Amino acid sequence: MNTPLIVGNWKMNGGLETNQRLLDDVRAGCSGLGRCDVAVCAPFVYLGQLQTLLTGSSVAVGAQDVSAHEGGAYTGEVSAAMLREFAIRYVIVGHSERRQHHGESDSVVASKARQALAVGITPIVCVGETLQEREAGRTEEVVRRQLAAVIHVNGHCISEIVLAYEPVWAIGTGRTAAAEQAQQVHAVLRAQLRAASAHSDRVRIVYGGSMNATNAAGLLAQPDIDGGLIGGASLKAADFLAIVAAGVGRASALR
Cβ-based nearer residue to ligand 13P, 113 or 233:
233
Cβ-closest position to ligand 13P: 231
* 152 is a catalytic site residue: no
Amino acid sitting at position 58:
S
CA distances 217 to 73, 201, 247, Å, are 46, 22, 8
Say whether residue 231 binds ligand 13P (CB under 6 A): yes
**In this structure, are residues 147 and 94 in contact, taking their beta carbons and an 8 Å threshold?**
no
Say whether residue 220 binds ligand 13P (CB under 6 A): no
**In this structure, are residues 101 and 64 in contact, taking their beta carbons and an 8 Å threshold?**
no
Nearest to 24 by CA among 230, 241, 176, 246: 241
CA–CA dist 208, 233 (Å, integer)? 11
* 95 is a catalytic site residue: yes
Identify the residue among 37, 65, 166, 224 touching ligand 13P (CB under 6 A): 166
Say whether residue 171 binds ligand 13P (CB under 6 A): yes
Identify the residue among 39, 127, 147, 230 touching ligand 13P (CB under 6 A): 230
CA distances 72 to 78, 98, 110, 113, Å, are 10, 22, 19, 18
- 95, 97, 133, 186: the catalytic one is 95
- 102, 166, 180, 199: the catalytic one is 166
Cβ-based nearer residue to ligand 13P, 11 or 190:
11
Q: What amino acid positions are annotated as catalytic residues? A: 95, 166
Where does this chain bind ligand 13P (CB under 6 A)? Answer: 9, 95, 166, 171-172, 208-211, 229-233
